A and B are shown apart, each in its own frame.
Chain A
């Protein structure tokens, strides 16, 4: 698991001063600090896995277990949210890599179809939402993760870059390409593969 090690090692080099005895107040703090981010982590995981909720909760559980066992390596004053999202994203990547090597097909595309919200009474917005999610599920993973972190989880561009381990410029170009591709899809394109982003100069 090369990716998480990179992050934890970076964290560890910063400052060893974390507090060892975690009982009473400190334990409750740790619990409530982390639990505040669980809804967001589940949402992010679920969207990364294109609607596979069971898989998403597995991923979140894995992330939380790792966060707890390396809690003492995190900087006391550091950005907890970014740290948790980073762990989750790295777990996602290594799991995908592992499956890829074992030749397990990506089941999450079918799961996406199954888990899309039902269409009640032919409401237009529900149809459109369904369509949007389908278009979104069709984006490459690197664009989906940027659109999620920035547009849904409200991370700044800098925070998103740290979570994904890429430069900000890469975040911006993935954001731009992802949004244009989704727009193209929603405007009736088959997918956005050929959509060109017109750079504004």
Chain B
């Protein structure tokens, strides 16, 4: 006990009844209270009222958690809403493309990205994805860095580089199989590219990058016969790029979205890399 330590103040007395004092200090405070009867009376009233309030409120949190507050129900609801919203926006993007607006989208492509508005991030990533697609889908000998034969390694490596657990979508239902992937530099940290091929040797790439913020954005852009459908979800930006075929890209985008969004039903779950979450 150090009775001549720091003087005991009002805050110490509150901390005493809230159990937030170290033991030494609590002893100082108790010694102080033993000789200051007015404070002692006041703080024992505070303490009694604190206890009574706890008791009075305890029953308000009693009882089972109502169904509408169960996490499983909230997640299911959220999933439905996301899918519905995605479908609506995808349909809207489809209509815009039908209206021949592709050229309009190109006019501000390549503009500087001084601000980080969702639109400029989307433009930047879409342009990067198209460039990367153009370069690597033409490669005959080295289209990918790590091929699909080492898929587990590929996923683990790219997840580590991007700092987030990646999921490689399975596009077999659209006739595309995974060839492999590569790591790419981008203006804002690393990006990943997965390449797929169908029976007609047509290639499709999925480009993804983190750090796009929390907003959801959609965008379709065509350039020189290459089309890219971009969206962002939970801080991830995705671009599906292939020869310009709006229907195909939308269909693939929907498959990818279903598999990568937290509620997707048939996602391929890669082996957990390193530490579990």
Contacts and interface: CB of A to CB of B under 8 A. Distances in A.
B148 interface: no
Given A31-B72, A65-B74, A70-B214, A20 B49 contact: no
A21 B13 contact: no
A108 interface: no
Contacts of B70: 35
Given A129-B52, A136-B53, A183-B46, A42 B167 contact: no
Interface residues of A, number: 66
Contacts of A199: 9-10
A176 B10 contact: yes
Interface in B5-58: 7-11, 13-15, 18, 20, 36, 39, 42, 45-46, 49-50, 52-58
Interface string B257-276: 00010100001011000001
A18 B166 CA distance: 11
Contacts of B66: 57
A34 B276 contact: no
A119 to B, nearest CB: 13
B266 to A, nearest CB: 11
A40 B225 CA distance: 57
B60 A200 contact: no
A43 B15 contact: no
A180 B8 CA distance: 18
Interface in A168-200: 172, 175-176, 179-180, 182-183, 186-187, 197, 199-200
B270 to A, nearest CB: 8
Interface residues of B, number: 57
Contact of A46 (B49, B61, B78, B167): B61
Contacts, number: 151
Interface string A32-73: 001100111011001100010100110011001100111011
Nearest to B51: A151
A16 B49 contact: no
- Majority SS of interface residues in chain A? helix
Contacts of B68: 57, 61
A76 interface: yes
A128 B71 contact: no
A78 to B, nearest CB: 13
B74 A152 contact: no
B120 interface: no
Contacts of A12: 213-214, 235
A150 B50 CA distance: 10
Contacts of A43: 57-58, 60-61
Contact of A200 (B10, B211, B267): B10
- Residue of B54, B71, B163, B276 with most chain A CB atoms under a 10 A cut-off: B71
A25 B276 contact: yes
B205 interface: no
B57 A175 contact: no
Nearest to B18: A150
A68 B71 contact: yes
Contacts of A23: 267, 269
A201 interface: yes
26 contacts: A16-B210, A16-B211, A19-B165, A20-B164, A20-B166, A20-B234, A21-B167, A21-B262, A24-B269, A25-B276, A26-B276, A31-B75, A35-B71, A39-B65, A43-B61, A64-B74, A70-B214, A72-B235, A150-B18, A157-B20, A179-B49, A197-B10, A199-B9, A200-B13, A200-B39, A201-B9
Interface of A: 8, 12, 16-27, 29-31, 34-35, 38-40, 42-43, 46-47, 51, 53, 56-57, 60-61, 64-65, 68-70, 72-73, 76, 117, 128-129, 132-133, 136, 147-148, 150-152, 156-157, 172, 175-176, 179-180, 182-183, 186-187, 197, 199-201
Q: Which 7 A-B pairs have the closest CB atoms?
A: A19-B277, A43-B61, A39-B61, A31-B71, A46-B60, A129-B56, A151-B50
Given A35-B70, A148-B57, 13 more contacts: A16-B210, A18-B164, A20-B165, A24-B269, A29-B277, A47-B60, A68-B78, A70-B214, A128-B52, A132-B56, A172-B14, A186-B45, A200-B8
